[in-house]
């Protein structure tokens, strides 16, 4: 198997945290503004000695979903975006149902029509609006519920106001679905349990993360394997 390390929640919490307020723009569901907190993927990969060798990573969810992220997305901040408030008001919606969800309280400095303050990065989040992420599960119909304990959060690649769901049939509703917008919600992997760092060392294969999937999910841990230095110590945060 490829070199492998498991970052438990205890080890993760020794790393510097990052918090950001952003929009998750969806194809078929509501568009949601939230504050996510966790760790930059850059910092996680640096902690396991992966930055020098990495070409890209594959994030693996408990249900087997896989999502690739490239070096540019890991190394660089994303463009600043504008906060679009009041899109849930009758004055804006008319007779159309609301599709943009806002938190009960906006972060300090966030104002409608202005750029959202703070740096936007690709992160592995464990909290949303100050509360732990609801663990990934399934309802009675077999549909996935929850998003945690760990979820990757990919910011928008370009600024645009929240658009309608692609399922919306009323052409009179404002901000119709625009396929050219970045719908980043689908780029955010839920229930993350493992991260493959490519290229895997020659002659190696993925470790058996499947047998540990339930344990990783329940404990809020993540297995990182591939082009890493297993002996690299986990750096502790210098911030309080």
pTM strictly above 0.85: yes
Residues in the chain: 240
pLDDT on residue 230? 73
Q: How far is CA 73 from CA 69, 120, 152, in A?
A: 6, 11, 12
Whether the Cβ atoms of residue 221 and residue 209 lie closer than 8 Å to each other? no
pLDDT on residue 171? 83
Q: Which two tokens stand for residue 227?
A: 């082009």
pLDDT on residue 234? 54
Whether the Cβ atoms of residue 100 and residue 25 lie closer than 8 Å to each other? no
What one-character-per-residue DSSP string does 203-229 give?
A: T------GGGHHHHHHHT-EEEEES--
* Side-chain half-sphere CA neighbours of 128 within 13 A: 21
Closest by CA to 194, choosing from 14, 48, 76, 23, is 48
- The mean pLDDT of 25-45, rounded to a whole number, is 97
Residues forming a β-bridge with 195: 59, 224
pLDDT on residue 236? 45
Q: Which two tokens stand for residue 1?
A: 């198997």
Q: What is the mean pLDDT of the chain?
A: 94
pLDDT on residue 169? 78
pLDDT on residue 233? 52
Q: How many CB atoms lie within 10 A of CB 164?
A: 20
- The mean pLDDT of 190-213, rounded to a whole number, is 96
Closest by CA to 190, choosing from 129, 221, 146, is 146
Classified as helix, coil or strand, 29 is coil
Confidence band, pLDDT 50/70/90 cuts, at residue 213: very high
The 8 Å CB, 24+ separation contacts for 208-217 are 208/1, 209/60, 213/62, 214/62, 216/6, 216/62, 217/62, 217/135, 217/136, 217/149, 217/191, 217/193
Whether the Cβ atoms of residue 180 and residue 166 lie closer than 8 Å to each other? no
């Amino acid at each position: 198997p490829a070199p492998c390390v498991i970052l438990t929640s205890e080890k993760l919490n020794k790393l510097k945290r990052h918090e950001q307020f952003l929009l998750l723009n969806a194809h078929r569901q509501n568009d949601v503004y939230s504050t996510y907190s966790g760790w930059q993927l850059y910092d996680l990969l640096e902690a396991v000695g992966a930055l020098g060798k990495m070409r890209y990573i594959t994030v693996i969810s408990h249900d087997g979903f896989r999502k690739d992220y490239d070096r540019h997305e890991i190394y660089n901040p994303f463009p600043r975006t504008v906060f679009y408030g009041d899109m849930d008001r009758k004055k804006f919606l008319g007779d159309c149902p609301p599709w943009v969800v806002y938190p009960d309280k906006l972060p300090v400095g966030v104002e409608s029509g202005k750029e959202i303050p703070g740096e936007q990065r690709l992160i592995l989040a464990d909290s949303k609006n100050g509360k732990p992420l609801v663990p990934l599960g399934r309802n009675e119909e077999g549909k996935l519920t929850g998003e945690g304990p760990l979820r990757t959060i990919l910011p928008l690649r370009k600024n645009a106001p929240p658009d309608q769901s692609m399922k919306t049939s009323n052409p009179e509703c404002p901000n119709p679905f625009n396929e050219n917008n970045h719908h980043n919600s689908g780029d955010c992997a839920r229930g993350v349990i493992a991260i493959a760092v490519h290229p895997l060392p020659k002659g190696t294969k993925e470790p058996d993360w499947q047998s540990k999937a339930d344990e990783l999910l329940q404990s809020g841990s993540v297995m990182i394997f591939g082009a890493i230095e297993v002996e690299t110590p986990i750096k502790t945060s210098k911030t309080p």
